[in-house]
Amino acid sequence: MDGSQALKNAGLAQSYTGPPDYRVVGRHGVFPETSHDENARFNFLAHMNRHLSTRVMPAVTTAWERRAGPAFEAHEGRPPKDRHEVRKALLQDPYYQAWSALRRATMEQRQQAGRWIALRQAETLAAKVEALTMSGDQLELDPALPIPRYVSAVDHHCMPGSYHTEVFPGDVSGAANYDCGIFATTGGALGRFSDGGGHAVVGWIQKQMPDFRPHHILDIGANLGQNVLPIAQAFPEAEVIALDVGAPMLRYGAARARSLKVDNVRFVQGDGSNLSRWPDSHFDWVQTTMTLHELSLASMKAIFREIYRVLAPGGIMLHVEQPQYRSDMPLFEQAMRDWDAFYNNEPFWSTMHELDIDGFMIEAGFDSANLIHGGVTAVVDRDVFPDTADDESEDFGRKAAWHVIGASK
Amino acid sequence: MSIDLALALSSAKPAGKRPYFMDPPVERVLNILMATVQELAVTRERLDTVERLLEMKGVIARSAIETFEPTADQAAERGLWMQEYLNRVLRTVQQEAEALQATDDLASEEVAAEVSQA
């Protein structure tokens, strides 16, 4: 054997740029078991998402430029005046219809695949979570907490039951579904433990504020804690609170953190618009990661006010989000980025991205001289995963390249 | 039982009215088709796993699959399977053709009226 076969194979792996095999996903103590075919189903979905964004979606631009856009102008005698007119014109175009129908179908298939995995072992998962959280004080639930309308009205990203419902007392299948499927939805772009956003924030902080030593950190809308664990690990002396309204996510998150041996995070059920249990100036750092777009305007303003109150002087507030729709962003791009708002149940997404976030931070009390603007991409293990920083393609609203907005007090 | 939960709830509808981008019956067929496309990919990956395991254990060489040539009898057996398969998959087209060629086809509802006459 001359080794040419081995060289050929090595070359294939080295030149391959697609999503990694699902089997490299990070598994912790409450991660659901997946069979061969369940892994294969997620492989299909990761590739389907990539195919849609790199092979199908680019010609939506062509359809707009050559067909839907000219048709709008011919009919109306003027160019569209906002992104909603662009989107409604696109809805008439057969190619946009085909891309949208396929994208929606893929989203629903991803939910179905993950829910099958999580539900078929729901009782086992609940028992594992119970065993990992019955002792210690890493979990604090409040069954009387009202679930905000912005969470309960429609199920975000078509995830049946959203973050807050359970099929039986102690059920965590919704959280397990979220956890196991996000790797497929993002094609591994968030890394093995889908925590590339958290690592990105840590990297950004360490570069921008090398002397920052926070003692109290609050993560609002922490979900299952995937993005706050890297923060807790980077600052092991800090006491970290992961706050969310969804009890199943918190139970699962606390068990996940324990199995990953991160013990300085407490998962607390609560609403970020009411942080009255914490005194003024308590936290050095308040973080949200891909949370703002799932709120409402009223709650976002209330959350900013509460953050300002609980932040210590010199403390920082950071939000990681997809980029805002600025006036220099073409209306077509804005319309494409709005897809998830209207067709993937992200109802605040569209409004949130046109708002003057700076203005709301100032209104909440922050000084305009202390505002923070930056950009980050997911930080992942580059041996295994595609690095978003190297990716020049665009997946309007889905790419793991974010803006950091915030302020220091 | 978790398996009953999975059967009942894994395909549940999320809260919120579903948008349709095409005629709903067309999009329904597309949705079923894409789920089928997914399951074909799953089966293909499973077959690939089986082939690689068989090769690792020295049972077959995967290159032998690529160069396999059926005998005349085997080729005939496969050809018949393919014909049967296409007949089955394209059932609805055959029936449409037969309907075109029929001259005195009645709807059962029409016959119901006829055979119910006193």
Which DSSP string do the residues of A22-38 spell out, in sequence order? GGGS---TTPPP--HHH
Identify the band that residue A383 occupies on the pLDDT scale cut at 50, 70 and 90.
Answer: low
Comparing A244-258, A372-386, B56-70, the range with the smallest average pLDDT is: A372-386
B41–A40 CB contact, under 8 Å: yes
Q: Which of A115, A124, A343 is the closest to B10 by Cβ?
A: A115
pLDDT band of A381, cuts 50, 70, 90: confident
Domains of chain A as residue ranges with CATH: 1-409 (3.40.50.150)
How far is Cα A377 from Cα A393, in angstroms, rounded to an integer? 13
Contact A348, A168 (CB under 8 A): no
More confidently predicted of A329 and A12: A329
In sequence order, which ranges of A270-321 are alpha helices (DSSP H)? 297-310
Give pLDDT, residue A14. Answer: 77
Select from B14, B42, B49 the Cβ nearest to the Cβ of A41: B42
| Confidence grade of residue A386 (pLDDT, cut at 50, 70, 90) | low
Q: Pick from A44, A115, A121: which is nearest to B38 by CB?
A: A44
Q: How many residues does chain B have?
A: 118
Nearest residue in A to B1, CA atom: A123
Return the residue in A116, A150, A166, A171 with the most chain B beta carbons within 10 A, the one to mutate for interface testing: A116
Which of B15, B21, B27 lies closest to A154 in CB terms? Answer: B15
Residue of B10, B16, B30 with shortest CB distance to A105: B30
Beta bridge partners of B30: none
Residue A310 contacts by C-beta under 8 Å, 6 or more apart in sequence? Answer: A218, A275, A278, A279, A280, A281, A282, A283, A286
* HSE of A173, CA atoms in CB hemisphere, 13 A: 29
B53 contact residues in A (CB cutoff 8 A): none
* pLDDT on residue B118: 85
A342 min Cα distance to partner chain B (Å): 8
Size of chain A in residues: 409
Question: How confident is the model over A18-47, as pLDDT tens digits?
Answer: 899 999 999 999 999 999 999 999 999 999
Alpha-carbon distances of A291 from A223, A260, A269, A294, rounded to whole Å: 9, 23, 15, 6
Side chain identity, residue A203: G
8 A C-beta contact, residue A238 and residue A215: yes
* B interface with A, Cβ–Cβ below 8 Å: 1-3, 5-6, 9-16, 18-22, 27, 30-31, 34-35, 38, 41-42, 45-46, 49
Query: Region B21-35: what's the mean pLDDT?
Result: 97
Q: Which residues pair with A268 in a beta bridge?
A: A140, A243
Instruction: Name the token pair of B14.
Output: 């999320």
Question: In angstroms, what separates the C-alpha of B34 from chain A's closest C-alpha?
Answer: 7
Q: What is the pLDDT of residues A292-302, one digit of tens each?
A: 999 999 999 99
pTM for the model stands at 0.91
Least confident of A10-19, A242-251, A388-397, B39-48: A388-397
φ/ψ of A311, rounded to 5, equals -75, 140
Say how far apart CA A80 and CA A73 lie, in whole Å: 7
Query: pLDDT per residue over A318-334, tens digit each?
Result: 999 988 999 999 999 99
Chain A residues at the B interface, defined by Cβ less than 8 Å, are: 36-37, 40-41, 43-45, 47-48, 91, 96-98, 100-102, 104-106, 108-109, 111-112, 115-116, 119-124, 152-155, 158-162, 167, 173, 342-343, 345
Tally of CB atoms within 10 A around B15: 17
What integer is the mean pLDDT of B26-45? 97
Establish how many alpha carbons lie within 13 A of residue A25's alpha carbon, considering only the half-sphere containing its beta carbon: 26
Instruction: Check CB contact under 8 Å for B2 and A120.
Output: yes
Contact call for residues A327 and A354 (beta carbons, < 8 A): no
**Residue reference for tokens 């002087």:** A313
Strand order in the sheet with A283-289: A139-140, A265-269, A239-244, A216-220, A283-289, A311-321, A401-408, A371-377
What is the DSSP code (8-state) at residue A244?
E
Q: Which residues on chain B are in Cβ contact (under 8 Å) with A122?
A: 2, 5-6
Q: What is the pLDDT of residues A139-160, one digit of tens each?
A: 999 999 999 999 999 999 999 9
Residue B34 has pLDDT above 50, yes or no: yes
* Distance (Å, whole) CA A168 – CA B111: 53
**A105 chain-B contacts, CB cut-off 8 A:** 30-31, 34-35
For chain A, give the mean pLDDT: 93
pLDDT score of A306: 98
Q: How far is B71 from chain A (nearest CA, A)?
A: 30
Of A40, A120, A159, the CB nearest to B14: A159
* φ/ψ (deg, to 5) at A49: -60, -45
CA atoms within 13 A on the CB side of A272: 30
Q: What residues contact A402, with CB distance under 8 A and at least 6 apart?
A: A197, A200, A290, A320, A321, A322, A323, A375, A376, A377
CB atoms B21 and A104 under 8 Å: yes
Q: Which of A56, A96, A108 to mutate to test the interface with B (most CBs of B within 10 A)?
A: A108
Distance CA B35, CA A385 (A): 27
Q: Note the pLDDT tens digit of each residue in A159-168.
A: 999 999 999 9
Mean pLDDT, residues B15-35? 96
- Confidence class for position A390, pLDDT limits 50, 70, 90: low
Question: Residue A13: what pLDDT?
Answer: 78
Using DSSP's 3-state secondary structure scheme, residue A147 falls into coil
Kindly state the tokens that stand for A96.
Answer: 């946009």
Nearest residue of chain A to residue B44 (CA atoms): A40
pLDDT of residue A68: 97
Q: Shortest Cα distance from B67 to chain A (angstroms)?
A: 18
pLDDT tens, residue by residue, A86-107: 999 999 999 999 999 999 999 9
Task: Kindly indicate the confidence band of residue A8, based on its pLDDT and cuts at 50, 70 and 90.
Answer: very low
Q: Tell me, what DSSP letter sits at residue B11?
A: T
ipTM: 0.84
